Chain A
């Protein structure tokens, strides 16, 4: 277990971890393309341990593609993705698996396996990766489901029987199954009603502080950004044009950022969080 000498997030518990800003994911010179269409060019981005990084950008700027490039679903045509200091795309099968166990991903629609119940969905990664007696896997799954804010009765429901918000929570429970250090969220609040969205933001902040998670959150939702994110990265012109705490980013005079944050919705969101 020599490659595991980094302190795991859970070890850090509720401690504030902003002080020692260790970079867990370092993207340098990333270039992704589909055929001749270049999505990102020379993109740099750092994800610090223990932060919630909100990633914003207009439709089609490749937010999801960036996430897919980092988690190994879309091979970049140039540049490097370093996860916990290791070049992800240079790792062998076993090394990748080791890294993949340390992150969880919540896809936009939840991406639950439709033939399994919620509890079986959460148990799936536990069963596959840790040779574990069924009873223990059940206990752990029940805990993750409860932590994600679902009632116990949701356990034996199939994904088709759940509402959108519950599906996202179940997806989050599955993403958390292996106690990951990093969680990727692709538009976690899209399609939720404002109350559900606010509750989800709160849940994420809660889990982050109590489990010491690092969160990479793609979002369109300004309220989410204000409520949850520690730093914001803005994607435009095929790269990250601005990254930093929300207050700094809103001061940028890039035209897209200005219209994003000072548009009617941006102002409204800022007002509510300023209280």
Chain B
């Protein structure tokens, strides 16, 4: 038994005979017809007969009340008849709650909105850059203050973060760099073979891995692994008001939360970059040996001869800068979390995106700088 209704004309009065099961689940089928009837009968007198309604819930009562309020001219003649006591009570319960409510905030012109978003985005980028610079300054000043009073250096915290961000990342950094070293060697081998210049694969692998890939891959991994973790950790502390609690206790959140993390990363990334460079070379050596018959001994001898040590330093020197920016951006975004868990998610995404962008940006800056000074 589903909901149904029949319309009779009784003199000037419309008579709506509702029957069956008027519960929410059966209303969808008749909703269209009910609305048509509502439109057709505006201003008429209406009697709604509920005597054959077997079941009713608030949704059904709402629909009946809506019909009544939409199309009845409010005279004595317009009324509900035949409702059982329980149904009558339900109809009365629903009656005061017929006012519609807005579902979504009003949206403006889509073109204007696009411009609005564009403008906000540009302004945001500018102000975020200023705020990050501000935060970098704050971290450096706090760092300088703490180093004049080394008792305030939190060794336990630093060591813990070194383990989390450094030691635990060694297997993945090593594997990644090994694979990339192997890929570079393999691709180089294919092209260099055409010129009979296979031996130059040594320079190719050594330069690429030592100057760029070792440190860059480690930094990318660190940004994804530890930078985002910093944002999440500090952000959830922020949500639970732990950061405020630190401040109220007279403790400096920068000193306690940001500095140990930053120091840990700055110490640990050069080591990771070194491990990355070595495993990258190993990958290159193995592929050269297998694909080009360049024995490891020959590879190393050639490398010693043509690849100067400065290439190694050119890579490692960049590591502390990368580490600093990754940690600072991660912590900055963590401190910027406001209120809800949703904001935490957004900030974590932003943290990874911004630190990766800045790492690559700084890397290209170094490349230009090295070129100018012939390093």
A and B: bona fide binding partners: yes
The yes or no answer to B101 lying at the interface (CB within 8 A) is yes
Q: Is the CB of A142 within 8 A of B28?
A: no
> Contact between B89 and A210 (Cβ–Cβ < 8 Å)?
yes
A interface footprint on B77-114 (CB within 8 Å = 1, 0 otherwise)? 00000000111111001101111111111100000000
Contact flag A138-B103 (CB < 8 Å), given A15-B86, A143-B62 = yes
8 Å CB interface, B42-84 against A? 55-59, 62-63, 66
B25 contacts A156, C-beta separation under 8 Å? no
Q: Is the CB of B58 within 8 A of A13?
A: no
Q: Which residues from chain B contact A146 at a C-beta distance below 8 Å?
A: 96-97, 99, 101
CB–CB B28/A130 < 8 A: yes
Cα separation A130 to B60 with both chains bound (whole Å): 13
Determine if A117 and B28 form an interchain contact, defined as CB atoms under 8 angstroms apart: no
> Is B168 part of the binding interface, using a Cβ–Cβ cutoff of 8 Å?
no
Contact yes or no, A131 B28, CB < 8 A: yes
Contact A14 B66 (CB under 8 A): no
Given contacts A15-B86, A153-B102, A156-B102, contact A143 B25 (CB under 8 A): no
A147 to B58 CA separation, bound complex (whole angstroms): 10
- A179 contacts B28, CB within 8 Å? no
Which listed residue (A13, A120, A126, A135) contacts B31, Cβ 8 A? A135
Question: Given A11-B55, A139-B62, A142-B100, do A179 and B86 touch, yes or no (CB 8 Å)?
Answer: no
- Bound complex: CA A136 to CA B32 (Å): 10
Q: With a CB–CB cut-off of 8 A, which chain B residues contact A160?
A: 339-340, 342
Given A117-B104, A160-B342; 15 other pairs, CB 8 A cutoff: A8-B23, A10-B58, A11-B55, A13-B85, A13-B86, A14-B89, A119-B104, A135-B35, A138-B103, A143-B59, A143-B62, A145-B101, A155-B102, A155-B103, A156-B105
How far apart are B235's CB and chain A's nearest CB, in angstroms? 16
* A10-B90 in contact (CB<8A): yes
Given contacts A14-B89, A15-B86, A210-B89, whether A138 and B28 have CB atoms under 8 Å apart is no
At the interface, yes or no: A25 with Cβ under 8 Å from chain B? no
Which residues of the partner chain B approach A10 to less than 8 Å between Cβ atoms? Answer: 23, 55-58, 90
Is A178 close to B, CB under 8 A? Answer: yes
Are A119 and B24 in contact, CB atoms less than 8 angstroms apart? no
Complex CA gap A211/B93 in Å reads 8
The reply to whether A179 and B103 contact each other, CB–CB distance below 8 Å, is no
Please give me the residue from chain B that is nearest to A114 by CB atom.
B342
Q: How far is the CA of A126 from the CA of B62 in the complex (A)?
A: 15
Q: Mark A103-123, 1 if CB is under 8 A from B, else 0.
A: 000000000001101011001
Interface pair A8/B55, CB less than 8 Å apart: yes
Which chain A residues lie closer than 8 Å to B28 at the CB level?
130-133, 136
Residue B294 at the chain A interface, CB threshold 8 Å? no
Asked if B27 is an interface residue, CB under 8 A from chain A, the answer is yes
Q: Is A244 engaged at the interface, CB distance under 8 Å to the other chain?
A: no
Residues of A within 8 Å of B32, CB to CB, are: 133
CA distance A156 to B101 in the complex (A): 8
Interface size class of A (residues with CB under 8 A): 35 or more
Closest CB in chain A relative to B16 CB, distance in Å: 17
Query: Quick check: B94 and A126 within 8 Å, CB to CB?
Result: no
Q: Which 8 A-B pairs have the closest CB atoms?
A: A13-B86, A155-B101, A14-B89, A146-B97, A152-B101, A156-B102, A10-B57, A119-B103
Structural contact, A178 and B55, CB atoms closer than 8 A: no
In the complex, A11 Cα to B339 Cα: how many Å?
A: 43
Q: How far is the CB of B346 from chain A (nearest CB, A)?
A: 12
- Which residues from chain B contact A13 at a C-beta distance below 8 Å? 85-90, 93
Q: Which residues of B contact A140 (CB under 8 A)?
A: 24, 58-59, 62
Give me 13 A-to-B residue pairs in the complex whose CB atoms sit less than 8 angstroms apart, sorted by A's number: A11-B57, A13-B86, A15-B86, A119-B102, A130-B24, A132-B24, A136-B59, A139-B62, A143-B98, A152-B101, A153-B102, A155-B102, A179-B24
* Cα-based distance from A138 to B98 in the complex (angstroms): 11
List B residues at the A interface (Cβ < 8 Å).
23-25, 27-28, 31-32, 35, 55-59, 62-63, 66, 85-90, 93-94, 96-106, 339-342
In the complex, which residues 1-49 of chain A have their Cβ closer than 8 Å to any Cβ of chain B?
A: 8, 10-15
Cβ of A154 within 8 Å of any chain B Cβ, yes or no, is: yes
Q: Quick one: closest B residue to A152, CB to CB?
A: B101
Report A99 CB to chain B, min CB distance, Å. Answer: 15
Query: Would you call A141 an interface residue if the criterion is a C-beta within 8 Å of the partner chain's C-beta atoms?
Result: yes
Chain B contacts of A126 at CB under 8 A?
24
Evaluate contact between A143 and B94: CB separation under 8 angstroms: yes
Given contacts A140-B62, A142-B99, A146-B99, contact A114 B340 (CB under 8 A): yes
Give every chain B residue within 8 A of A147 (Cβ-Cβ): 58, 97
B258–chain A nearest beta-carbon distance, Å: 27
Q: Bound state CA distance, A11 and B32, in angstroms?
A: 25
Contact B90 A179, beta carbon cutoff 8 Å? no
Q: Which residues of A contact B31 (CB under 8 A)?
A: 132-133, 135-136
Which B residues touch A12, using CB under 8 A? 86
For chain A, residues 240 to 259, give those with C-beta under 8 angstroms from any C-beta of chain B: none
A210 CA / B57 CA spacing, docked (Å): 11
Asked if A15 and B105 make an inter-chain contact with CB atoms under 8 angstroms apart, the answer reads no
Smallest distance from the beta carbon of B86 to chain A beta carbons, Å?
3
Complex partner residue of A120 from B24, B27, B62, B104, CB under 8 angstroms = B104
**Which of A11, A114, A136 makes the CB contact (< 8 A) with B86?**
A11
Determine whether the beta carbon of A179 is less than 8 Å from that of B59. yes
Complexed CA–CA distance, A117 and B63 (Å): 23
Smallest distance from the beta carbon of A256 to chain B beta carbons, Å?
Answer: 31
Binary interface encoding of chain A residues 141-183 relative to chain B, with 1 for a CB under 8 A from any of its CBs, else 0: 1111111000011111000100000000000000000110000
CB-CB < 8 A to A144: which residues of B? 58
| Assembled-state Cα–Cα distance A147/B59 (Å) | 12
